[in-house]
Structure 1
Amino acid sequence: MLAARALAEFADVVTVVERDVLPAGPERRKNLPQARHAHLLWSGGARAVEDLVPGTTELLLAAGAHRLAVTTDMVALSPKGWYRRWPESHYMILCSRDLLDATVRAQVLDDDRITLLERTEAVGLDSRDGTGGTDGTLAVTGVRLRGVDGEERTLTADLVVDATGRASRTPQWLGALGLPGPARRTVDSGLAYASRIYRAPKRARQGYPVVNVLADQRAGVPGRAGVLLPIEGGQWLVTLSGTTGGEPSAADDDFVRFAREELRHPILGELLAHAEPLTDVGFTRTTANRRHYYERLPAWPENLTVLGDALAAYNPIYGHGMSVAAQSALALREVIRRQGWGSPGLARRIQKAVAGPVNAAWDLATGQDVFYPGATRNGPTLRERIVAAYVDRLLHTAMGNGRIARRLTDVTSLQRGGHVLLAPSVLLAAAIGPLKPPLAGPPLTTGEREAAGGPDQ
């Protein structure tokens, strides 16, 4: 939807091809099963959405979404200890994925230039040989579609955008056109997710912080983690996760036990003991980090670009997928504005531009997951080991240094690139270490503890 909105500035007609029948409001749909699990928009993504679809944040907040400050409204246990709740540096938008999708979708599809083809699947690319393609390659001229009746037809297009997610078949489609496939890297920690929605205790339904217990990927044991996200309707969306050998159960009656007994701290289990479960447990293993390096291919067809999870998919625990997709759609628009619609080599320039936000999130996710046994064929690279050691030192420093905590959140919120962590002042602070002693326990206020103490609190 965001890519469609970006393209509507330049094209007479933008057609969205969709396998599902899209609901009218914030409801679940078949081909978005991961919507049951933790989602958030970091400020870097929220600002990109707002740029593309102005008014989205206001509509979300009016519908019950929460805007929480980073790190003021966070209670988080990192591998190096409890984060302090420093003054706001950035923010998060928290709501269900269904509400976010419905809010964006309604505004995008209200544009007369954008049309929707539902219950339709893209099955291949159409092309013409050797005319205008970069480096002598071909140009894509449209996409072959199959409707619910099984009939196939071709939709011609000046630009085709693959935003089909993890199920993308662009590598196979490129092969069918006689082009080489991209290099690919997969980092799979074997992570399993179990999620459930709870009704929060009465006094904890507004203004409650995110509560996050992170895994320690270098502890030599399976990584177990959990996060509680306040969403609309006075509800908590809680996701528990575990890598190979430490997976949470899909059973409803084991959810709170896992949160209390298997995580590095029992705080989530203690909070859930007084909350009312509203759904059964949703379970998934579709959590591998996977990256296609299309921007490195020596030849790239004109009029084709790949965005979102079709380009790179991440372990959802880091919450970067939606924000990267939004920033990529914004990059798509900016490249076309700069280069001009239909200019030679436009698709290749777009593909290189969207690699920027993708690479930032990829380094954040895989820099942690790569250390789990079996996550990659050959283990962490030398670069990954060096970067991880430095990030560990920064995390340790951030426990007691608010300026370094802010620099880290500059990067994790996707507001700035990782280069800011190499500034001389940051290097010096990392060498010195934290300026305050570590916290002894979770930094919940007395009021927050009391508010979550029971269903009537």
Structure 2
Amino acid sequence: MNVDRLGHAVVIGGSMAGILTARALSERFEQVTVVERDQLPDGPDVRKGVPQARHLHAFWAGGMEVVERLLPGVGSDLLAAGAVDLSLPTDMAWLTPANRWTQAFPPTQRIVSATRALLEWTVRSHVEKVTNIGFYTDHEVTSLRLGPTGDVSGLTLRGRHSGTTADLPADLVVDASGRGSKLPEWLGELGFAAPEESTVDSFLGYATRLFEIPAGFSARWKAVYIQNAPPVEPRGGIMFPIEGNRWVLTLIGGGGDYPPTDEQGFRDFAASLRSPLLADILRVAQPVSPIWGYRRTANRWRHYEKLTMPGRLLAVGDSLCAFNPAYGQGLTVAAKEVEVLAGILAGCRSQADLPRALRGAQRAIAARAKGPWMLATGSDLRYPTTVGASQSRMDKLVNKYLDRVLAAVSDDAAVSAAFLRVLNMIDEPQALFSPRLMPRVLRPRRRRPSTVSNGFIVDEQSPAFSS
């Protein structure tokens, strides 16, 4: 089959969604240009354009599978740089909202734990080796340009330091500029309506600090998750190992119950959780960073899939659908959206076919966000202070069932494996409602011996550590 290259594609935004998009487009376009407003660092350093880069990031197995198909060797390079291999559920001490610690079942999923800076730099170092991808940094997009047919034909750039402007022609423009995307404004300047927006905000915030893992540390787990249990308990915490023999420890509070960023307040918040495990760690681990806070966590979906937009224009990642970062979905959803786009373009044989191939592409890309959106907003709607939506009768029924799922993951290996496939975005949430799984979820659970800690009834099989 004769397949022509499709011309020049431009990706707005050089973060994870943008560089993965550029890699996918490089398979079909003669040239791909990534436009980034920041100067990209030469190593695994935090940059201003990723405001929550210092906090914990999860790249679930479903997302890493996409990355490895696009960029073989990223996973091994991360491990070589010090990232930590985690087997789930074996390596995690997880206190579910049912006040049960999960058992260390044989592993069914594997993830690589690293800082956002190392993850992004490792992926970008692979992308930069692709010869038909170029980066245009220290420039910001000021507007889109339309061609004679009404399709997008390029964009206008402005140098952030020089102030000079230039036009950049394009046969396809993909906006991957994140939560702060100005695409609605650019469309308005061209006479197009703004997209309908869905926003669900649980007023959740978190505070993060890095710690050195103590010499002689010993435990059956590598990571800890004390899950929030709204509406009764809005507080939680999570700790993962990362490169450099460090832990990244994040305290989480929903419904406006934000964790403090001062020393004593941070420790007091940890001591108030349903388990003393993280507070115990704080007493022996040496901090190696300040405490950073973050509160911009609303879920926001700009429904471009419902909008009449100019052709040759798409939105992906947080520009399209931004999730509450506390659930760790954003990076993996972006990778899954890129995979959809790659599949659409694979069947496009020439530039003449491109407009036809792109029809319905935005709807197909947006469809990848539906399952994660349901899980994220369903969790946030448990907080009574949440705004933007309210729980419907169906939402309440689904949440009651998911409560049973979370009660079952602690002592049923089959339910644990099924839930982890959904969490890692290998299966859609509907898989939890399969006829095979539902009887296991709904059967009565045997009570475990329990004790009282911080005023909460907690499973006596609580994990511990020594150092």
1:106–1:117 CA distance, 2 compared to 1 (3 A): same
Q: Secondary structure at the match of 1:25?
A: coil
Match for residue 180 of structure 2? 167
1:300–1:433 CA distance, 2 compared to 1 (3 A): farther
The answer to whether the 8 Å contact 2:231/2:384 transfers is: no
Match for residue 39 of structure 2? 21
Per-residue deviation, 1:378: 4.5
The answer to whether the 8 Å contact 2:204/2:256 transfers is: no
Match for residue 111 of structure 1? 130
Matching residue's letter, 2:283: A
The structure 1 residue matched to 2:67, chosen from 49, 52, 59, is 49
1:442–1:273 CA distance, 2 compared to 1 (3 A): farther
Matching residue's letter, 2:23: R
Instruction: Report which of the two has the higher share of helix.
Output: 1
Please give the per-residue CA displacement for 1:172-199, whole angstroms capped at 9, x wherever unaligned: 2222222222221111111121111110
Per-residue deviation, 1:45: 0.8
The structure 2 residue matched to 1:426, chosen from 411, 433, 437, is 437
Per-residue deviation, 1:340: 4.1
With normalisation by structure 2, the TM-score equals 0.89
Q: Secondary structure at the match of 2:437?
A: helix
1:183–1:164 CA distance, 2 compared to 1 (3 A): same
Q: Which moved more, 1:161-170 or 1:332-341?
A: 332-341
Give, in whole Å, the separation in 1 of the partners of 2:277 and 2:350.
53
Q: Secondary structure at the match of 2:82?
A: coil
Please give the per-residue CA displacement for 1:15-46, whole angstroms capped at 9, x wherever unaligned: 11111111110111111121111102110011
The answer to whether the 8 Å contact 1:301/1:347 transfers is: no
Matched, 1:218 2:228: no
Per-residue deviation, 1:409: 1.1
With normalisation by structure 1, the TM-score equals 0.91
Give, in whole Å, the separation in 2 of the partners of 1:340 and 1:392.
48
Give, in whole Å, the separation in 1 of the partners of 2:245 and 2:90.
20
Match for residue 444 of structure 1? 463
Give, in whole Å, the separation in 2 of the partners of 1:11 and 1:104.
20
Matched, 1:146 2:165: no
Per-residue deviation, 1:425: 1.5
Match for residue 334 of structure 1? 343
Match for residue 344 of structure 1? 355
Matched, 1:124 2:137: no
Give, in whole Å, the separation in 2 of the partners of 1:172 and 1:141.
17
The answer to whether the 8 Å contact 2:62/2:332 transfers is: yes
The structure 2 residue matched to 1:273, chosen from 263, 268, 283, is 283
Q: Secondary structure at the match of 1:327?
A: helix
The answer to whether the 8 Å contact 1:37/1:239 transfers is: yes
Matched, 1:64 2:82: yes
Matched, 1:40 2:58: yes
1:363–1:401 CA distance, 2 compared to 1 (3 A): same
Q: Secondary structure at the match of 2:284?
A: coil
The structure 2 residue matched to 1:5, chosen from 9, 12, 23, is 23
Give, in whole Å, the separation in 1 of the partners of 2:396 and 2:58.
28
The structure 1 residue matched to 2:294, chosen from 277, 281, 284, is 284
Give, in whole Å, the separation in 1 of the partners of 2:224 and 2:49.
29
Per-residue deviation, 1:435: 6.4
Q: Which runs of 5+ in 1 are unaligned?
A: 132-137
Give, in whole Å, the separation in 2 of the partners of 1:389 and 1:425.
19
Match for residue 178 of structure 1? 191
Q: Which runs of 5+ in 2 are unaligned?
A: 1-18, 451-458
Please give the per-residue CA displacement for 1:217-249, whole angstroms capped at 9, x wherever unaligned: 121x5x111110100010000111212442111
Per-residue deviation, 1:420: 1.2
Q: Secondary structure at the match of 2:179?
A: helix
Per-residue deviation, 1:206: 10
Give, in whole Å, the separation in 1 of the partners of 2:113 and 2:49.
22
Give, in whole Å, the separation in 2 of the partners of 1:39 and 1:319.
6
Per-residue deviation, 1:291: 1.2
Match for residue 135 of structure 1? none
1:162–1:438 CA distance, 2 compared to 1 (3 A): farther
1:204–1:14 CA distance, 2 compared to 1 (3 A): farther
Give, in whole Å, the separation in 2 of the partners of 1:17 and 1:78.
42
Per-residue deviation, 1:207: 8.4
Q: Secondary structure at the match of 1:444?
A: coil
Give, in whole Å, the separation in 2 of the partners of 1:373 and 1:341.
53
Give, in whole Å, the separation in 1 of the partners of 2:94 and 2:248.
16
Matched, 1:87 2:106: yes
Matched, 1:203 2:216: yes
The structure 2 residue matched to 1:97, chosen from 116, 121, 127, is 116
Aligned sequence identity (%)? 36
The structure 2 residue matched to 1:231, chosen from 236, 242, 246, is 242
Matched, 1:313 2:322: yes
Match for residue 247 of structure 1? 258
Give, in whole Å, the separation in 1 of the partners of 2:218 and 2:113.
13
Matched, 1:383 2:402: no
Matched, 1:397 2:408: yes
Give, in whole Å, the separation in 2 of the partners of 1:40 and 1:217.
22
Give, in whole Å, the separation in 1 of the partners of 2:426 and 2:398.
20
The structure 2 residue matched to 1:194, chosen from 171, 183, 207, is 207
Q: Secondary structure at the match of 1:126?
A: strand
1:442–1:283 CA distance, 2 compared to 1 (3 A): farther
1:367–1:64 CA distance, 2 compared to 1 (3 A): same
The answer to whether the 8 Å contact 2:255/2:385 transfers is: no
Matching residue's letter, 2:369: V
Give, in whole Å, the separation in 2 of the partners of 1:205 and 1:304.
52
The structure 1 residue matched to 2:369, chosen from 342, 358, 368, is 358
The answer to whether the 8 Å contact 1:401/1:435 transfers is: no
Give, in whole Å, the separation in 2 of the partners of 1:273 and 1:301.
57
Please give the per-residue CA displacement for 1:370-394, whole angstroms capped at 9, x wherever unaligned: 1212322442233322221211122
Give, in whole Å, the separation in 2 of the partners of 1:394 and 1:341.
48
Please give the per-residue CA displacement for 1:389-411, whole angstroms capped at 9, x wherever unaligned: 21112222223211111111111
The answer to whether the 8 Å contact 2:198/2:388 transfers is: no
1:204–1:40 CA distance, 2 compared to 1 (3 A): farther
